[in-house]
Amino acid sequence: MQIVVTGAAGLLGSNVVSVGNDRGHDVVGTYHSTKPSFEVPLYELDICDTDRFRELLDEHEPAVVINCAAMTDVDGCESASSAASEVNGEAPGELAAACEEHDVDFVHVSTDYVFDGTKTEPHTESDEPSPVQEYGASKLDGEQAVQSSHSNPLIARLSFVYGIDRSTGELTGFPAWVRGRLEDGEETPLFVDQHVTPSRAGSTAETLVDAVENDSSGLFHVASRSCVTPYEFGEQVCALMDASDALLQEGSQAALDRPATRPEYTCLDVSKIEEELGRTQPTLSEDLAAIADAF
């Protein structure tokens, strides 16, 4: 199958390229500012440039486009809300519309930050979104734009993405930060007032490609089965490194003054995607074990 991956230089995008390639699909990647090092056709593309995107569809005639491109800096979106709205809110709808016209399937990636964090049990796909910062609001706009522009899109909401960047080979995201601090012997404050279901980029990419191969469509939560605080996540990193957890300190995100408000509880219920694919999503321990070499 021919697959176009937008945002191929990003953490998730690099994993989708890698999984697609490993499974024998013909993968084409697009990147924004940095060209990734993959042996697949690569094109520079700003996803707001719909004309260029249509040219790529004409040239490659893919079966599916998987949109992993987004403005992901939550505080950055707060101060650049019109750019966030353009990239995260409007462009996905334009990409989806172009795919609909070309009879191409469309997969779009969204976020647990569409929720306001007031619930205390994992969110299902039928829970009402209510974002509390520009990033979440722009991503919710993107979901809605995709839904109204394409007849059968697949939209996957992820949570707290981390993993191995398959272009650079580097561990990326929260566990890389924790690993670095522990290696340097630095005290490491980790939030106990944030709850997430960490999504490893590698297993998420496997799930997305599984869903494409399964011809799935609809809205799905794609994350691990483990609802944890960053402190609990840090404890698992410590154990993998065989390091003392004496350096871990309980921290509070409420005590931090950051431009964007963060929700307290955005764990995702993954039972719908599990039922769709007939298998379970990984736990955080299983996900970390899969990349244990990085620790």
Give the residues lining the site for ligand NAP (CB under 6 A): 7, 9-13, 32-34, 45-48, 68-72, 87, 109, 111-112, 139, 158-161
Q: Pairing mode, if any, of strands 171-172 and 161-164?
A: antiparallel
Beta carbon of residue 160, minimum distance to ligand NAP (angstroms, whole number)? 5
Nearest approach in angstroms of CB 185 to ligand NAP is 27
If the CB atoms of residues 44 and 275 are measured against ligand NAP, the closer one turns out to be 44
What tokens were used for 266?
């955005």
Nearer to ligand NAP, 16 or 238 (CB): 16
- CB of residue 122 to ligand NAP, shortest distance in Å: 15
Taking the complex as a whole, the smallest distance from the CB of residue 76 to ligand NAP amounts, in Å, to 10
Q: Which is nearer to ligand NAP, 4 or 70 (CB)?
A: 70
Q: Which residue is nearest to ligand NAP (CB)?
A: 10
Which residues are known to be catalytic? 135
Give which of 68, 27, 84 is closest to 155, Cα–Cα: 68
In angstroms, give the least distance from the CB of 108 to ligand NAP: 8
Those residues with Cβ within 8 angstroms of residue 31's Cβ, 6 or more apart along the chain or in another chain:
7, 8, 9, 42, 43, 44, 45
